[in-house]
Amino acid sequence: MFYDKKMFLVEDDLKINFEGRSINFTIPIYKNINRYFIPLLEFINQTGGEINIKESKIDIKLKEKSSISIDYCIDDYKFTTIDNVLYISLFDICRILSIRSKWDYRRSTISLYWDKSNYKSCRAVCRRAALIRFEDITAGGEYLDSDNLEKLIVVADYMFLAGIPFHIAWIPRFVDPQNGIDNDISKDYSMPNANFLFTMEYLLNRNGIIGLHGYTHQYCDEVSAVGTEFNEGRNNDEKSIRRRVEAAISIANKLELPVKFFETPHYAATAFQQSIFEQYFDIIYEPFVGIWGERIVKGPRNHRTLYIPTPLGYVEEKDSIYKMINRINNLGEAALASLFYHPYIDFEYITLKSGVNRYPMSSYSESSPLHQIVKALYFNGYNFTKITDLNLNNKKYEFKKLFYSFLNLHKYFKLR
């Protein structure tokens, strides 16, 4: 895919290493706000590969790896040309070549390594559907820290290997008025913002599904992810509602991040506010106001938008995991096994390590709350699915695509 957005030179002090060795680009690195672009030919040559480009066809040969063929007019990768040089986004070259990254803000360095893990998802027989949503993901607080973003990637790898699609409730603009912070990653460049966008693309590539969790998830002097953006007294007129929804959509469009649902912060929306939301989205990931229950509702106003509740609620803190397990064990036959979870709770169960040439490694404890939730749902006869694959007409919410093999959970820890 040809990426025709305006490019800017990257700061001179940004360094990229590969397998412990510095890559000295003779051609500049560029960025489009927070997405880096590197010269493809030079990168392949400096990493010991060979590349042949003929019209839109690209063939890449790497030592001890299978050859790769790409058509940049067809394939879903971000290419651009600058001064007759072919560039590709950093994330896409990592995706194509199976490369891991480690970001060091202090040294302005991105270290790249061949990915030594062996990821494989499996299919399973249809059972009742479960849904999980990762809540309050935003470019602020703990999610701008490079170690925490690396841990979020570890969580995504675990979900992918276990065949679990997951949903990402993304707050597009992080605001903390009292500390003078207003961060819109579609406008404001920084290396942490670039890492956050890289991580979001990584989550998408690991079966993540992005949705908008409000626009700022706050009001007046409140902090994003804490405050309430929509309710009876806040942004309650049509103009205000549309302005904020359209601003959130605009950020997603600028960053080319596909969004599949909307969720009101704290489920505080009124019926009128929801009536505006559903004009923009086919899926509202919250209960329909007026029908507070455990089942999916097709919006009675437009007979199209699905309202998907989370009857299992969420884990308030790690110590309350037993309450979640109890809810799962006692979930009624007709109820949807749907919950949301704050992935930072699992970060203390993940240890980041360094191998040869500082290769990024990790260990992820099976005793983490997220692991316990996954196991409890499977033991109770559920499989995870995407909201876009739900079949409303089936009372058990069986779904089209399943990717899970329970044995893979154990294999995961052997690979790390």
Token couple for 91: 């994330």
Is 145 within a domain?
yes
Flag whether 2 is in a domain. no
What pTM was estimated for this model as a whole? 0.92
E strands in 285-390: 297-298, 306-307, 337-341, 350-354, 360-364, 382-384
**Residue 1 domain-assigned (yes or no):** no
Q: Which residues contact 270 (CB under 8 A, 6 or more apart)?
A: 230, 231, 232, 236, 289
CA-nearest of 44, 39, 38 to 194 is: 38
Q: Are residues 396 and 278 in the same domain?
A: yes
**Strand ranges for 173-264 from DSSP E:** 173-176, 181-184, 208-212, 259-262
| Under 8 Å between Cβ of 342 and 136 | yes
For residue 151, being part of any structural domain is answered with yes
83 vs 87: CA distance, rounded Å: 10
Same domain as 110, residue 253: no
Residues 372-390, buried b or exposed e (16+ Cβ, 10 A)?
bbbbbbbebebbbbbbbeb
Distance (Å) of CA 176 to CA 65, 73, 182, 235? 47, 41, 6, 18
Q: Give the tokens for residue 362.
A: 């990790």
Amino acid at 227: G
**141-174 burial: b if 16+ Cβ within 10 Å, else e:** bbbbbbebbbbbbbbbbbbbbbbbbbbbbbbbbb
Give the gyration radius of the chain's Cα atoms: 22
245 plus 358 within the same structural domain: yes
Q: What is the pLDDT of residue 121?
A: 56
Half-sphere exposure of 409 (CA within 13 A, CB side): 15
Q: For residue 261, give the CATH number of its domain.
A: 3.20.20.370
Geometric angle at alpha carbon 254, from 249 and 256, rounded to 5°: 90
**Is 147 among the domain residues?**
yes
CA dist 338 and 397 (Å) reads 11
Statement to judge: residues 12 and 90 lie in one domain? yes
* Same domain, yes or no: 84 and 137: no
pLDDT reported for residue 399: 38
Question: Looking at the structure, do residues 107 and 136 belong to the same domain, yes or no?
Answer: no
End residue of a domain, out of 89, 114, 139: 114
State whether 99 and 58 are in the same domain: yes
Same domain (yes/no): 146, 98:
no
Is residue 121 in a domain? no
How confident is the prediction along the chain (416 residues), in pLDDT tens digits per residue?
Answer: 778 889 999 977 899 999 999 999 999 999 999 999 999 999 999 988 999 988 889 999 987 677 899 987 788 999 999 999 999 999 999 999 999 999 999 999 999 999 988 666 554 445 688 999 999 999 999 999 999 999 999 999 999 999 999 999 999 999 999 999 999 999 999 999 999 999 999 999 999 999 999 999 999 999 999 999 999 999 999 999 999 999 999 999 999 999 999 999 999 999 999 999 999 999 999 999 988 777 899 999 999 999 999 999 999 877 789 999 999 999 987 788 999 999 999 999 999 998 888 899 999 999 999 999 999 999 999 999 999 998 665 444 443 333 333 444 444 444 44
Of the residues 85, 114, 143, which one is the last residue of a structural domain? 114
381 token code pair: 């006869």
* CA separation, residue 1 to residues 76, 89, 201, 329 (Å): 5, 11, 16, 46
Q: Which domain holds residue 380?
A: 128-415
What integer pLDDT is reported at residue 119 of this predicted model? 64
Domain total of the chain: 2
- Pair (98, 157) in one structural domain: no
Residue 393 lies in a domain: yes
The last residue of one of the domains, among 62, 89, 114, is 114
Rounded to an integer, what distance in angstroms lies between the CA atom of residue 276 and that of residue 243? 11
Nearest to 200 by CA among 170, 174, 226, 173: 170
What the block records as the tokens of 390 is 């739900």
Q: Are residues 65 and 136 in the same domain?
A: no
Evaluate whether residue 344 is within a structural domain: yes
Same domain membership, residue 268 and residue 389 = yes
Quick one: 271 and 364 in the same domain? Answer: yes
Handedness of CA 379, 381, 384, 387 (dihedral sign): negative
Strand order, beta sheet including 109-114: 21-22, 15-18, 109-114, 99-104
